[in-house]
Structure 1
């Protein structure tokens, strides 16, 4: 309360701040407040921009992996696909693909990827 509104919580106890006003201030606390961090954990620190940036990094890592797989020697060991960046909440984590032996992308895969 003090950080965001310069309002001391003791003002409510002393009678200088009404319960209604206190409730409005608590409901309108920004996402980076201590209350949001306590209620939502690490996910409270992530903004939409952070999620979009993590998604872009995942796609770039996949594109680099595909480029390396296409341009490697045929006798070389296949490279492991990249792991997605961890997200703070399970709802935004990309779904795990079924376990399968990694294979080199073919022309159809590249045509699909590049549209």
Structure 2
């Protein structure tokens, strides 16, 4: 297909827009506009969510069933995804609109929740 056909009038603007809209995810245009997110499909996001949930469940199990004398294990770090704010430069904590992280549950709160 020659894009000059659009300039010459042989290809309508609507048809050109449809062709561009339905380009495959691995095309150069999509990679240029979407960046790294073009490499990730639905399956990749679902697998990352599964890994995150399994890691959280294992962490909760080890906290609840720990001996209580040693320090609890650190909370798992989520799988980095394209476009996550963690991959960008860190924000200034004093900036307006900064949301503090949620409070972590204590081992006794987790034990109470699961009992």
Question: TM-score, length-normalised on structure 1?
Answer: 0.65
Go from structure 1 to structure 2 and tell me whether the alpha carbon gap of 1:23 and 1:98 turns closer, same or farther (over 3 Å shift).
Answer: closer
The number of residue pairs the alignment matches comes to 98
Cα contact 1:65–1:82 (8 A) shared by 2: yes
Alpha-carbon RMSD across the aligned residues, in angstroms, is 3.1
- After the TM superposition, which residues 1-115 of structure 1 pair with which residues of structure 2 at under 5 Å, given as runs? 7=1, 11-13=2-4, 18-20=10-12, 22-90=16-84, 97-98=101-102, 100=104, 103-104=106-107, 105-111=109-115
Give the unaligned 5+ runs of structure 1.
1-6
The runs of 4+ residues in structure 1 deviating greater than 6 Å are: none
Once the two structures are TM-superposed, the CA of residue 96 in structure 1 deviates from its matched residue by 7.7
C-alpha separation between the residues in 1 aligned to 2:34 and 2:3? 26
- 3-state SS, counterpart of residue 82 of structure 1: coil
Return the offset for 1:47.
1.2
Structure 1 distance, partners of 2:74, 2:10, is 60
